[in-house]
Amino acid sequence: MSSSFDLHVQTTISPHNGQAYHVETYPVSSDLDRTLEIAAQSQKEWIKTTLSERIAKGRKFIEKFSVLANREVPATYDHGPLGHHNLAEELCNQMGRPVDQCWGEFRGFLQRATYMVDIAESCLSDTTFSDNQPGFSRSIKRVPLGVIFVIAPWNYPYLVMINSVLPALIAGNAVILKPSPQTPLTAVRFKEALNNAGFPTDLIQVVHLSLPLTRYVVQHKLVDFVVFTGSVAGGKAIETAAVAADGFKGVGLELGGKDPAYVRADADLKDAVIQLVDGAMYNAGQSCCAVERIYVHESVYDNFVNEYVNETKKLILGDPTNKQTTIGPVISIASAERIHQQVSSAVQTGAKALIPENLYPTAEPGTAFVAPQVLVDVNHTMDVMKEETFGPIIGIQKVSSDAEAIELMNDSEYGLTASIWTKSLDDFSTLADQVQAGTIFLNRCDSLDPALAWTGIKNSGRGVSLSKFGYDQLTRAKSINMRINTA
């Protein structure tokens, strides 16, 4: 139960029922050549518009998408025998998140879009100098890269697409947008709102591609930069393809995570439990910045674990189209089997599972449903504490000191986010400087602020999106040095 495809067609399978939901046909390489040529030509015209005109269209886009994502009066789309579905129902059926939670992604999408539009003028306007010598003038422009290829994931497709697509367009680029085979309609709806807002039709191109065709576009001479969000293996494949292409093609990579949390002895345990259950289990744990391992000071360890288990047991696993469901399936049967294997391996080597299997009868073998699980007596010889799980599983390990916690937090090939739970701001500041991650949270987790740079280190990728630095990745600096008076 995942998207399936042959050489010509990809079929999106709903994770919760195994039914085909949507079908797309792949283009041939000659069609892709023409698509890229059209986008490149459109970009040449687009850059002739002023920044203020592009920002105005960005604001209009926010209005248009808000109409599509209006929960009270939602737009609907005809899916034939499956019925009419609104934007949240479409997303639910494509990737399995509970339908009521899908509306939250749209709110985050609009929040990020609004912020990136609001800061566009300050980020993209020329830098000028007041200390020029008489007869001379200097400035630095931010100019677009050209055609940007955005490869989006399925787990938070709208949230990830908005990070790069809208800023790229406002900066003056064209965008080739490839959605995941699991969530193909998300890019279609995104483009629909962009075009309704006045962005040129040819400027944003949605493409559905096989792996060989994806590599073809990455290496295409008309593609100037690639933005990829996905697995480490996928990121390495994209980078390898880009390096093998002619020239020196830039690549931005947001990859996996094994994000840690450290609960200190002085933490507000009740709050930490609630936040960390949500941080580990929301979206069935399928978030690059989900909490995947927790280290707890020994003085509060037993109380924390007991409360964490009780909170986890409140989750309702089931059909994501049911409004009572709080946790849906993972993306595929293959993913479920991989997660089960990770848990089984940990238990076989000494870990203890604290959630009874019979509490979640929906999690049957051969389905994409995975019961939430809390593991204790874990250590770093186990994959569940070292390798990305991407499922509703958490390992909790006891530590005796800050130093031990920091050592374990940094003992990872990943470095996306980390969280520290304490009432001491001074201690947090000291510890935060020692943690190796792109974002360090205090008393919160699994949350993005568009004003902050979204970036990772180690195998979590390279590059940056959101914040003022997000525009830097999608543009280049162009220096202007003028000698005005030649007399």
Residues classed as catalytic:
254, 288
Residue from 196, 154, 191 nearest 174 by CA: 191
Pairing of strands 136-144, 147-151: unpaired
Q: Is residue 394 within 8 Å of 293, Cβ to Cβ?
A: yes
Q: Is residue 226 within 8 Å of 218, Cβ to Cβ?
A: yes
Buried b (16+ CB within 10 A) or exposed e, 265-275: eebebeebbeb
Work out the burial of residue 243: count CB atoms within 10 Å of its CB; fewer than 13 is exposed, 13-18 middle, 19 or more buried: exposed
Query: SS in 3 state form for 380-427?
Result: CCCHHHCCCCCCCEEEEEEECCHHHHHHHHHCCCEECEEEEECCCHHH
Residue from 357, 264, 350, 259 nearest 304 by CA: 264
Q: Is residue 378 within 8 Å of 346, Cβ to Cβ?
A: yes
Pairing of strands 225-229, 250-254: parallel
Sign of CA dihedral 342, 345, 350, 356: positive
Q: What tokens were used for 147?
A: 């055609």
Across the strands, what pairs with 175? Answer: 148, 204
What do you get for the CA distance between the two ends of the chain, in Å?
75
Pairing of strands 291-297, 352-353: unpaired
